[in-house]
Amino acid sequence: MTHSDRRFLNIAHRGFSARYPENTLIAFEKALDEVGVRWIELDVRLTADGIPIVLHDASVDRTTDGSGAVGRMTIEEVRRLDAGIHKGAAFKGTQIPTLGEALDSLKGRAKVVVELKGEGDAFIRAAARAVVSRDLVAEVTFSAFAHENLKAVAAVVPGASLNPLGGMKGRSVEQVVDDTLALGAGTLGMVAADATSELAQAAHDAGLILRCSGAADDTGPEIRRLISIGADGLTTNCPDVLMGILREDDITPW
């Protein structure tokens, strides 16, 4: 493989979250329109009345003008929250989208990594329903640190693309690969700091894609290290920085 044959996944983490309110439609739009990414990552939790919404934390305190656990709020209460003001006055009035709204806005424009942050049968079924009802199974990858969530998704969405997340956590490279294969996943998700050339080679030998996340440095050196060890992609807060490096090094954004 020559250098120019390389491909690398540029996945916008919660959208273009370095510059725009995370996990909002504007963050997704800007990642697509300003940067030109083809992949969006978002997080999903469930409201008290069973609506899957796009939110990372269990509470709304950090990213909105409200407070409290989202699992105790109805969708009407969530709708009243401002999810943009914390990022600046220009984003005042930005709402938390439902998973359905996010998928509708991205359908036909990008592939989507849906990180499952909730738990329980009702949560899994609601998230799965939003994807299946829009005929987006082929365009969505489900990811989770809680691998039980991925097993639950696989049970209700045959053929679902799965991306288990995590670090080495004392496991050997062989154990990490075996754990990924045991889930029926095609992608090995690894904390960037734990990714090595040995892991990349083992993943590729097993037919897996090595997709990294949680890079401590999104501004260059760590991105270049991940490319050099043979990783296949990165979920990043700064998709613009990654895109610039890919273009500079003649690597195709995937």
According to DSSP, the β-strands at 52-54 and 111-116 are unpaired
Roughly what angle, to the nearest 10 degrees, separates helices 221-229 and 239-248? Answer: 60
More confident residue, 73 or 4: 73
- Does residue 218 have a pLDDT over 90? no
What's the rounded mean pLDDT across residues 227-238? 97
Residue 68 belongs to some domain of the structure = no
Residue 116 belongs to some domain of the structure = yes
User: What pLDDT is recorded for position 3?
Assistant: 47
Taking residue 138's Cβ as centre, other Cβ atoms within 10 Å add up to: 10
What's the rounded mean pLDDT across residues 61-80? 98
pLDDT tens profile 163-177: 999 999 999 999 999
Residue 224 belongs to some domain of the structure = yes
Residue 64 belongs to some domain of the structure = no
CA-wise closest residue to 10 among 229, 253, 232: 253
For 26, 40, 70, 81, 191, the CA distances from 111, given in Å and listed in that order, are 16, 6, 26, 27, 21
Residue 226 belongs to some domain of the structure = yes
Residue 159 belongs to some domain of the structure = yes
Mean pLDDT (the chain) is: 96
Give the distance from CA 93 to its chain's centroid.
Answer: 24
- To 10 degrees, the CA torsion angle through 69, 66, 105, 100? 30
Angle at 73 between CA 131 and CA 235, to 5 degrees: 45
| % of the chain exceeding 70 in pLDDT | 98
Residues 201 and 244: their CA atoms lie apart, in Å, by: 26
Give residue 173's identity as a one-letter amino acid code. V
pLDDT tens profile 129-158: 999 999 999 999 999 999 999 999 999 999
Which single residue is written with the structure tokens 């996944």? Answer: 9
Residue 90 belongs to some domain of the structure = no
Quote the domain boundaries for residue 196: 3-59+99-253
Q: What single-letter DSSP state applies at residue 81?
A: S
What's the rounded mean pLDDT across residues 224-243? 97
Residues 176 and 182: their CA atoms lie apart, in Å, by: 10
Give the total number of structural domains in the chain.
Answer: 1
User: What pLDDT is recorded for position 4?
Assistant: 55
CA-wise closest residue to 142 among 161, 155, 167: 161
Residue 241 belongs to some domain of the structure = yes
CATH of residue 156's domain is: 3.20.20.190
User: What pLDDT is recorded for position 2?
Assistant: 41
pLDDT tens profile 24-58: 999 999 999 999 999 999 999 999 999 999 999 99
Which pTM was predicted?
Answer: 0.96
